[in-house]
Amino acid sequence: ASDPRSAAIDDLLEAYGRVASQPFPDGAAPIFARVRKEVAALEALAARAGPAGPPQDSRGWARAYPACGVLLRQRLCAARAGAGGKECSGSLFISDMGVAFECDRGHESGGEQLRTGLVRWADIAALERKDAPDGHGVHLTLSLVNGARAGISNLRVQLGVAEDADWIEDFWRLRAELFPPAEADDADVQPDLTTFWSTRSLNQPGQTMPVVATPVLLKQISHPASPKVHRTLS
C-alpha cells in the first residue's frame, strides 16, 4: 500500500501548482520558492520516516470548534490554570490557530473542571519550556496577554512527548508574528460540547485521573504578543 503521507503531499503539490499559476503581484516569486522548498523538505522527511500511523481524526474538533483552524495534534495530558490551580487530566488540542484544553468528560459529574476554549497563538505572550525531571516529557507554561477574564495569567500543561511541545512552540512563533488576536465574542471560540463529547475518540477507560480543576474561560485580548520562549533544563 502507498504511504498516505506521500499521497497527501501529492495533493499539496497539486494545490501549490494551482495557486502558483494564478497572477500575483511583484514579490510573489520568492514566497512561492520558499513554499516549494518546504514541501520538498516534507517529501524528504516522509521518505526517511517509518510506517505511517493513523491520520488525526478531526471530525469531533471541527464540530465542537467550528472556524477554529485545522487540527494538527490531539494529545492526552495534564494541565492546570496558574500555579495554584488543581491539575486536571484531559485532552490538549493543537490547531493552526491556537490551542484548547478540555478536562475529561468523566469529571463532569464531579463539579468544576478546566475548559479553556480556543486560546489563539497571538494571545500567548510568552512560552516557558522545561524538561521533566525524569527526562520523559516536557512541562509548558503559556503566559497569556494581559491575563484572562477569570484572573488566570497562564496555562500549564504536561506533555509526554517533546515533539508535541515543538509543534506548539513552532506554530506559536509563526502565528503570533503573522496574525493579531481575534476581536471576537467569547461565544465564537467556546466549544460546542454536545457534539464534542459525542464524537470524541480518546476518552477511553484507563486514560483519566480522578482530578478536577477550576473552570477557566480565557478571554481573547486585542493586543498582539511578542514571542518569547524560555527554555529550562531541570
CA distances from 226 to 65, 183, 219, 221, 222 (A): 26, 18, 18, 13, 13
pLDDT of residue 147: 62
Q: List per-block mean pLDDT (blocks of 10 residues) for the chain, which spans 234 residues.
A: 81 94 94 93 85 69 86 90 86 90 67 78 90 85 72 84 90 76 45 44 35 30 44 46
pLDDT of residue 181: 56
**CA-CA-CA-CA dihedral for 205, 209, 214, 220, to nearest 10:** -60
Q: What architecture (CATH level 2) is domain 59-232?
A: Roll (2.30)
- Please report the sign of the dihedral spanned by the C-alpha atoms of residue 205, residue 211, residue 214, residue 220: negative
pLDDT digits (tens, 9 = 90+) for 198-215: 444 433 333 332 222 233
Q: Using CA atoms, how far apart are residues 35 and 15, in angstroms rounded to an integer?
A: 12
pLDDT of residue 30: 93
Task: Indicate the domain borders of the chain.
Answer: 4-48, 59-232
